């Protein structure tokens, strides 16, 4: 034994210690229970790591996609008048466009309406009156036209509606959509709702259910006439180069307005939503970490049984010259190998799932016959997944640390085993 140790090396984590650790990992007929616990521990860590990576990637993708779509269709900074209406919006927009860091400014005339088509009883909608040059800058809309075109939008006197609204009202390009505004004209018989039929010029799909089913784009001049506000807009939406730096542009935008205005940014308008999303993400991380923790506890039970089963072997190793430190390192490597291989397997599995998350969702939707990740509830039409390298590394590090800590107590017990007691009844 001493010759074997000397030939294979006797330093910490030497070839001899690795050989013994590997032999203890291999399954034998009389160690079926220990082997089964090791396999369960491996599968638990692998599934725990894969689940954590997948869920965190989906949460990141969900937030990123929502943020991109919310900021792609709504301004980063909303300018609203405090006194009279914005009748000089052309000059204000020109001044906003001259500010460094502002991508473009867009005047809006908007209001709530009841929209009805060929089928259904009608639906509530938000009419946003925009100029043709401005709707062309909304890439999320102009690059996702499913039917029709936005060319000649100002002169067409037509509207652009979302795909889900078109489906619910049974409309296609060229059909008429009736818009009814509750604040109508004053007549001797009272206030009558204002209504008009517009031709559907284009149908878009931005990927957010709420927008695709409730937003109608109308030429700015037509919207001003429809809402009886000729020459006036209700707000100006400012799009900036870096949405995270919107606070630094507030003073410049407020000063360029040259009138009292009320400014709100995208974070204020969506604070509750994104705060709830962040809380949900943190809670999911803590809950799913318990999966890895349970798998690590299985390592403790498996190694403890292995130490008890290998008591005579440990005693022989000690009497033949192996130190208590060597015995501790042998069992440490035995348990750590399960954690390391399980973590690597979990990362590979998690990456594969994240890359095919939408196909997996469609498969389970087909298998169950139900709609998983309903866009009516989750706003997005597809299940997104975006892996973050730093976050993935933190999951890997957490799994490895838990696995290594789980091996310490059984390995310490093996190192403290008295050879005389272990061989007394052999």
The full 3-state SS of the chain, as one line of letters, equals CHHHHHHHCCCCCCHHHHHHHHHHHCCCHHHHHHHHHHHHHHHHHHHHHHHHHHHHHHHHHHHHHHHHHHHHHCCCEEEEECCCCECCHHHHHHHHHCCCCEEEEEEEEEEEEEEECCCCCCEEEEEEEECHHHHCCCHHHHCCEEEECCCCHHHHCEEEEEHHHHHHHCCCCCCEEEEEEEEEEEECCEEEEEEEEEEEEEEECCCEHHHHCCEEEEEHHHHHHHCCCCCCECEEEEEECCHHHHHHHHHHHHHHHCCCEEEEEHHHHCHHHHHHHHHHHHHHHHHHHHHHHHHHHHHHHHHHHHHHHCHHHHHHHHHCCCCHHHHHHHHHHHHHHHHHHHHHHHHHHHHHHHHCHHHHHHHHHHHHCCCCCCHHHHCECCCCCCCCHHHHHHHHHHHHHHHHHHHHHHHHHHHCCCHHHHHCCC
Q: Give residue 105's domain range.
A: 84-259
| Residue 266 belongs to a domain | no
Query: pLDDT band for position 28 (50/70/90)?
Result: low
User: In this model, does residue 56 exceed pLDDT 70?
Assistant: yes
Asked if 280 and 254 sit in the same domain, the reply is no
Q: How many domains does the chain have?
A: 2
Mean pLDDT on 391-408: 86
Asked if 140 and 240 sit in the same domain, the reply is yes
Tell me the per-residue pLDDT of 373-383, one tens digit each, with 9 for 90 and over: 666 555 566 77
Dihedral class, residue 112 (left if φ above 0, else alpha if ψ from -120 to 50, else beta): beta
Q: What is the structure's pLDDT at 360?
A: 83
Mean pLDDT on 189-212: 83
Asked if 137 and 43 sit in the same domain, the reply is no
Asked if 363 and 230 sit in the same domain, the reply is no
Asked if 228 and 113 sit in the same domain, the reply is yes
Asked if 303 and 229 sit in the same domain, the reply is no
User: In this model, does residue 8 exceed pLDDT 60?
Assistant: no
How far, in Å, CA of 14 to CA of 5, rounded?
A: 9
Asked if 221 and 278 sit in the same domain, the reply is no
Mean pLDDT on 83-108: 89
How far, in Å, CA of 95 to CA of 256, rounded?
A: 6
Asked if 314 and 389 sit in the same domain, the reply is yes
Asked if 205 and 334 sit in the same domain, the reply is no
Query: pLDDT band for position 15 (50/70/90)?
Result: confident
Tell me the per-residue pLDDT of 146-175, one tens digit each, with 9 for 90 and over: 999 988 898 877 899 999 999 989 999 989
pTM higher than the cut 0.85: no
Asked if 243 and 312 sit in the same domain, the reply is no
How far, in Å, CA of 180 to CA of 113, rounded?
A: 5
| Residue 74 belongs to a domain | no
Mean pLDDT on 376-400: 79
Instruction: Compute the half-sphere exposure of residue 340: CA atoms within 13 Å on the CB side of its CA.
Output: 8
Query: pLDDT band for position 333 (50/70/90)?
Result: confident
For the chain, the average pLDDT equals 81
Of 94-103, 308-317, 322-331, where does mean pLDDT reach its minimum? 308-317
Boundary-marking domain end, from 259, 290, 312? 259
Residue 400: count of CB within 10 angstroms of its CB: 19
Asked if 278 and 373 sit in the same domain, the reply is yes
User: In this model, does residue 274 exceed pLDDT 90?
Assistant: no
| Residue 102 belongs to a domain | yes
| Residue 368 belongs to a domain | yes
Q: What is the structure's pLDDT at 335?
A: 80
Asked if 244 and 279 sit in the same domain, the reply is no
């Amino acid at each position: 034994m001493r010759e074997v140790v000397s030939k294979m090396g006797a330093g910490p984590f030497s070839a001899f210690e690795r050989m013994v650790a590997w032999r203890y990992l291999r399954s034998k007929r009389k160690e079926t229970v220990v082997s089964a616990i090791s396999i369960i521990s491996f599968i638990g860590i692998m599934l725990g790591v894969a689940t954590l990576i997948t869920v965190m990637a989906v949460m990141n993708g969900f937030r990123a996609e929502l943020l991109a779509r919310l900021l792609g269709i709504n301004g980063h900074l909303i300018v609203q008048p405090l006194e009279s209406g914005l009748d000089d919006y052309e000059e204000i927009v020109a001044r906003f466009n001259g500010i460094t860091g502002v991508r473009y400014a867009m005047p809006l005339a908007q209001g709530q309406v009841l929209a009805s088509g060929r089928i259904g009883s009608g639906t509530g909608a938000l009419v946003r009156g925009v100029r043709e040059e401005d709707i062309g800058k909304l890439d999320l809309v102009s690059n996702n036209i499913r039917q029709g075109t936005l060319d000649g939008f100002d002169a067409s006197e037509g509207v652009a509606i979302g795909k889900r609204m078109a489906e619910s009202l049974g409309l296609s390009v060229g059909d008429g959509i009736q818009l009814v505004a509750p604040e109508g004209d004053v007549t001797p018989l009272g206030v009558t709702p204002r209504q008009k039929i517009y031709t559907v010029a284009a149908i878009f799909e931005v990927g957010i259910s709420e927008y695709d089913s409730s937003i109608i784009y109308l030429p700015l001049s037509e919207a001003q006439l429809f809402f009886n506000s000729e020459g006036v807009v209700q707000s100006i939406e400012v799009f900036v180069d870096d949405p995270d730096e919107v606070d630094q542009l507030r003073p410049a935008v407020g000063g360029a307005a040259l009138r009292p205005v009320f400014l709100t940014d995208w974070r204020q308008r969506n604070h509750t939503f994104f705060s709830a999303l962040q809380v949900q993400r943190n809670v999911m991380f803590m809950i799913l970490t318990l999966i890895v923790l349970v798998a690590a506890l299985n390592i403790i039970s498996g190694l403890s049984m292995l130490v008890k089963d290998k008591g005579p072997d440990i005693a022989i190793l000690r009497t033949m010259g192996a130190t208590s430190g060597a015995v501790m390192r042998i069992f440490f490597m035995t348990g750590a190998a399960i954690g390391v291989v399980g973590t690597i397997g979990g990362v590979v599995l998690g990456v594969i799932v994240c890359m095919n998350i939408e196909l997996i969702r469609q498969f389970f939707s087909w298998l169950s016959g139900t709609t998983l990740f309903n866009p009516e509830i989750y706003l997005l039409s597809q299940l997104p997944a975006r892996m973050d390298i730093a976050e993935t590394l933190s999951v890997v590090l957490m799994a490895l640390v838990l696995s290594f800590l789980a091996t310490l107590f059984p390995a310490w017990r093996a190192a403290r085993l008295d050879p005389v007691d272990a061989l007394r009844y052999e």
